Amino acid sequence: MHGVIGVCYLIGHSIQTNDVVAIKVIDKLRFSEQEEKIHREVDILHEVVHPGVIKLHAMFDTPGKFYLVMEKLHSDMLEMILTRPAKRLNERQTKFLIYQILVALRYLHSKSIVHCDLKPENVLLAKCEDFPQTKLCDFGFARIIGEKSFRRSIVGTPAYLPPEALKPELRLEKGYNRSLDMWSCGVIIYVSYVIMASLLLVF
């Protein structure tokens, strides 16, 4: 599996709780330019405690690698969509999952955290079932409202970003804030329920 800053995942057990965990391994030499994103993700995950956000158990820093120990989940929303015969979710499933995403976003936004890279791959599912608990992950692009770089930089996946985040003149004039995540959430609804197959051909 790969994320913004990820390389691969290993599976293990927490010594303290005996829970199954996923260990995200990042090679420092291969991803040296991503160190800032790694520390941002760790700092943010240490600050948040919510059932709709993936839990970070620990982070270990060695000379060659970073190890992020996180809760182990089943799959992601994109995989759930692609395994459906019609390559889309039904209305009830879409509403159920989107509601959970919005609840998690409300919590993050209350703490002035904007995810900035919402997409089905970054919505993890706790179990293999039709109506699973969702958890947001991959906070390497996340920003805190008020950071100087927040409105100047382009972050996230272009297909899920609003126009003001992609066009320099709009970004400099108006900037963007929590609404960035809300736009991305709207695209997720479209991708999940309407036309996943054709989007895969375009993007």
Quick one: pLDDT at residue 10? 63
Per-residue model confidence (pLDDT) at position 9: 66
Which of the four pLDDT bands, split at 50, 70 and 90, describes residue 15?
low
pLDDT band at 1 (very low <50, low <70, confident <90, very high): very low
- List, by residue number, the catalytic residues: 117
Percent of the chain beyond pLDDT 70?
76
What is the rounded average pLDDT for all residues in the chain?
80
pLDDT at 4 over 60: no
CA distances from 33 to 20, 39, 76 (A): 30, 12, 26
Q: Where are the alpha helices (DSSP H) in 16-136?
A: 35-47, 77-82, 91-110
How many CB atoms within 10 Å of residue 120?
A: 20
Tokens found for residue 149: 């770089």
Tell me how far apart the alpha carbons of residues 185 and 30 are, in angstroms, rounded to a whole number. 31
Tell me which residue has tokens 């991959």.
138
**Superfamily of domain 7-71, CATH level 4:** Phosphorylase Kinase; domain 1 (3.30.200.20)
Lowest mean pLDDT among 7-11, 110-114, 139-143: 7-11
CA distances from 96 to 90, 92, 99, 107, 136 (A): 10, 6, 5, 17, 15
Domain positions in the chain: 7-71, 75-198
At residue 42 the predicted structure's pLDDT band, cuts being 50, 70 and 90, is very high
Q: Which CATH superfamily is domain 75-198 in?
A: Transferase(Phosphotransferase) domain 1 (1.10.510.10)
Is the pLDDT confidence value at 170 over 60? Answer: no
Convert the pLDDT of each residue in 53-81 to its tens digit.
Answer: 999 988 998 988 888 888 888 888 878 87
